[in-house]
Amino acid sequence: MAIVKPVRKAVLPAAGFGTRFLPVTKAIPKELLPIVDVPVIQINVEECVASGIRDLILITSRGKDALIDYFDRGAELEELLERKGKRADLEMIRRLTDLAHISAIRQAEARGLGHAVLCARGLVVDEPFAVLLGDDLVEADPPAIRQLLDVYAKYGKGVVALWEVPSGQEHLYGIVDGESVGGGVFRLHNLVEKPEPGKAPSRLSIVGRYVLPPEIFPILANTKPGQGGEIQLTDALATLCASDGLYGVRLRGERFDAGDRTGYVLAVLRYALRRSDIGAAVRAGAEKLLRKT
Ligand code: UTP
């Protein structure tokens, strides 16, 4: 087994405009939209912590300071909860601040996901690191990023998360070409962004979890703007794949595209149904609604 540096840091890009969620994203960052009462970003942070990563780097932008505030201590709120004897709420709020060590970097201009990751270079320096996109919520045990970390530890190469898309929809996604090495893991040969209908090399698309070596930074710095004038992470990954090698792992679990309206509603429903406090009532209410609709 190859000896590899441990992954101690994760980058959480959250500087996008969230246009698929307008109008609410005019005022509220997409990453703070609640899955019942927990913001999407907190679910990502908890996934990192559950996977052994506590050093987190948030990439934010103008108008999204609420994201950073969310993880700060609120002295006034704590005092109020203390006075009212709301111990459980107080514990919950405090736990949030102690969860992880969170740094933030501003992306001055929305120049794409690749550029957002490059913004973290000064804090990541020369270590391998994880990247999590809030749009992809994955309910899984072990957690999704842990599944990638295990593959990284075995092969010592960059790893991307893979998800099988329905047949005929490959042209909508970034699709990989690779060979199976067993256990849902693939050694990748190439990445094809939105292949022409009928020409996709597989049905496995790249979804929002990555473990990357620091070698991705000089590649990103030299990646020319692609689709939409943005620096695309996928373009840099294709270069990394050719120069250094890249693996993919098919995620085990339930995935929701929470960056899309339907996916978001389904994620809220799923998380609500699994809650011990409200699950039964939500199920009864939803069944009644379905009968009437
Ligand atoms: P998306 O392509 O989903 O863009 O970005 P978006 O702005 O979040 O949402 P839509 O598509 O307009 O509705 C994927 C991830 O990359 C981050 C986003 O915050 C999201 O986590 N991102 C994107 C940046 O951090 N900076 C960018 O310049 C672009």
Task: Report how far apart the first and last C-alpha atoms of the chain are (Å, whole number).
Answer: 56
Residue 271 Rama label (left phi>0; alpha psi -120 to 50; beta): alpha
pLDDT of residue 222: 97
Q: Which atom of ligand 1 is nearest to the CA of 110?
A: 28
pLDDT of residue 2: 55
Ligand 1 within 6 A of CB of 222:
no
Tell me the two tokens of residue 38: 């927990």
102 C-alpha vs ligand 1 centroid, how far in Å? 20
Q: How far apart are CA 63 and CA 71, in angstroms?
A: 16
Ligand 1 within 6 A of CB of 106:
no
243 C-alpha vs ligand 1 centroid, how far in Å? 27
255 C-alpha vs ligand 1 centroid, how far in Å? 18
Protein residue whose Cα sits closest to atom 5 of ligand 1:
16
30 C-alpha vs ligand 1 centroid, how far in Å? 9
Q: How far apart are CA 13 and CA 35, in angstroms?
A: 19
Q: Which atom of ligand 1 is nearest to the CA of 112?
A: 28
pLDDT by position in tens, the chain (length 293): 557 899 999 999 999 999 999 999 999 999 999 999 999 999 999 999 999 999 999 999 998 999 999 998 888 999 999 999 999 999 988 888 888 999 999 999 999 999 999 999 999 999 999 999 988 999 999 999 999 999 999 999 999 999 999 999 999 889 999 999 999 999 999 998 888 988 999 999 999 999 999 999 999 999 999 878 899 999 999 999 999 999 999 999 999 999 999 999 999 999 999 999 999 999 999 999 999 88
Q: Where are the domains of the chain?
A: 9-259
Residue (of 61, 10, 8, 69) closest to 208 by Cα position: 10
Ligand 1 pocket test: which of 135, 209, 234 has the largest number of ligand atoms within 8 Å of its C-beta? 135
Compute the chain's Rg from CA coordinates: 20
Ligand 1 within 6 A of CB of 208:
no
Q: What is the pTM of this model?
A: 0.94
Long-range own/partner contacts, residues 103-106 (CB < 8 A, 24 or more apart): 103/55, 103/56, 103/57, 103/58, 104/57, 104/58, 104/59, 104/60, 104/67, 104/68, 105/57, 105/58, 105/59, 105/60, 106/15, 106/59, 106/60, 106/61, 106/62
Ligand 1 within 6 A of CB of 143:
no
Selecting from 3.30.460.80, 3.30.420.40, 1.10.3720.10, 3.90.550.10, what CATH number does the domain 9-259 have? 3.90.550.10
pLDDT of residue 134: 87
Q: How far apart are CA 108 and CA 148, in angstroms?
A: 30
- Please list, in sequence order, all residues whose beta carbon lies within 8 angstroms of the beta carbon of residue 266, skipping any fewer than 6 positions away: 256
Residue (of 192, 193, 211) closest to 7 by Cα position: 211
pLDDT of residue 165: 94
